[in-house]
Amino acid sequence: MDHPSVKTIHCSGTPYEIGLQHGSTAGVEVHTNIATYTSFFQETAKISWEAAREQAVVQFVPTLEARYPEILEEMRGIADGAGGGLTREDILTLNVRSEICLTNYADGCTSISQVGEDGKIFLAQNWDWLEELHKGMVFLYIKPLESDIALRFLGEAGIVGKIGMNSAGFGLCMNALRSGAFDKLNLPVHVMSRRLLQYARSVDNALSIIDQFGLACTANYIFADRTGKHVNIECSPRGNVLILPSNGYVAHTNHLYGTNRPAKLVDHPAPNSFLRLARIQKLTDIDREKNATTTFRSLREKLSDEEGSPLAICRDRPAEAVGMERMTTLACIMMELKSCTGKVLIGRPCDNLPVVNWSF
């Protein structure tokens, strides 16, 4: 079932053709997101869109031309499809919004991977971000011409990768981390997410891609694949830290907590990140003590938790919130990798919402 207000876009072909279909179908949403991030850049980094674009071009065009040129072709297609005078460089700027601003502000997310019965392996995440991004969200289904892997993700129009899964049975969740570590020779985080979804057939493949390309900023991933393997990796240009599952699960929010952190890597999390991590771990441990079966329903129940509201796992916009404090839970994404299926809710999972089903 398609969502009544969030477009599902089917793209296939060459990188440029994929981008053209994306931009042509979601042109309004692409322009909406550029307007949102124009304000965002000014609020968080005190720079104009034009200055952000210049920064994006200087820092990342050489890297992507050398290491991932086809993604620049896709960005050119998105710009041409969306029209209105947009350029490839505008779309690149959207795609490096984390590198431009997450040293100043981090969005909130709660993610978990958990083993189920009969070899099932689940990934789930609440994506917390600016409430106005509701108007710029899209579902993307992409079938590249040069690959036998198809991919699905929920993302922001104009951005080439986000939270999702592929037809090989690999999936990822992503958590922002606020840190000043940066390396322009590595891949921006949303571009890395796309690379992983398009090419990783397994957790081991994904870890190899991370090692090969490196991440330009600091971010967290949880990976899982259809064999049941799952792992958390805190990534930064200064090194990566694995957090292995314990008692059948691993969870993460928006702060570094892995051991053997790279030297001089410092993050600046909001206090609610620690509370959300402790809460989802407690809820999962309670389920385990009760021998409860892991299902889409049980994951939704955990991600619907409102203890500590409004800054809870299921986040509500704080009353009187202004600026970057106006975050809310935009979506809940749940995936089961053995069957390559998923369920997505647009909005807070504690509310009565329509469910979008994913399959291949």
Q: What Cα–Cα distance (Å) separates residue 169 from each residue in 187, 219, 338, 360?
A: 23, 22, 6, 10
In the predicted structure, residue 107 carries a pLDDT above the cut 70: no
Antiparallel, parallel or unpaired: β 137-144 and 7-13: parallel
Cβ neighbours, 10 Å, residue 292: 12
Find, among 165, 168, 108, the residue nearest to 343 by Cα: 165
pLDDT at position 325 is 74
Give the pLDDT confidence of 220-270 residue by residue, as tens digits: 999 999 999 999 999 999 999 999 999 999 999 999 999 999 988 999 999
In the predicted structure, residue 106 carries a pLDDT above the cut 80: no
Domains belonging to the chain, first-starting first, are 7-101 (no CATH), 108-132+162-358 (3.60.60.10)
Percentage of residues in the chain with pLDDT exceeding 90? 90
pLDDT at position 103 is 55
DSSP secondary structure string, 196-251?
HHHH-SSHHHHHHHHHHH-BSS-EEEEEEETTS-EEEEEE-TT--EEE--BTTEEE
Give the pLDDT confidence of 168-178 residue by residue, as tens digits: 999 999 999 99
- Per the CB < 8 A criterion, the answer to whether 314 and 126 are in contact is yes
| Main-chain phi, psi angles of 249, to 5 degrees | -155, 165
Find the mean pLDDT for residues 204-214.
99
Q: How many CA atoms lie within 13 A of 280 on its CB side?
A: 30
Position 56, amino acid: A
- Strand, helix or coil at 28? helix
| Main-chain phi, psi angles of 46, to 5 degrees | 60, 40
Global confidence as pTM: 0.97
pLDDT at position 186 is 98
- Per the CB < 8 A criterion, the answer to whether 307 and 280 are in contact is no
pLDDT at position 104 is 56
pLDDT at position 105 is 60
In the predicted structure, residue 323 carries a pLDDT above the cut 80: no
Position 108 confidence tier, pLDDT thresholds 50, 70, 90: confident
Residues near 194 by beta carbon (within 8 Å), at least 6 away in sequence: 71, 160, 161
Between 46 and 284, where is the model more confident? Answer: 284
pLDDT at position 100 is 87
| Main-chain phi, psi angles of 19, to 5 degrees | -65, -40
Find the mean pLDDT for residues 19-48.
95
CA dihedral for 102, 104, 105, 106, sign (positive or negative): positive
- Per the CB < 8 A criterion, the answer to whether 150 and 143 are in contact is yes
Instruction: Provide Rg for the chain, Cα atoms.
Output: 19
* Mean predicted lDDT score pLDDT of the chain: 96
pLDDT at position 321 is 74
Percentage of residues in the chain with pLDDT exceeding 70? 98
Find, among 116, 225, 244, 214, the residue nearest to 165 by Cα: 225
Find the mean pLDDT for residues 320-343.
91
Position 322 confidence tier, pLDDT thresholds 50, 70, 90: confident
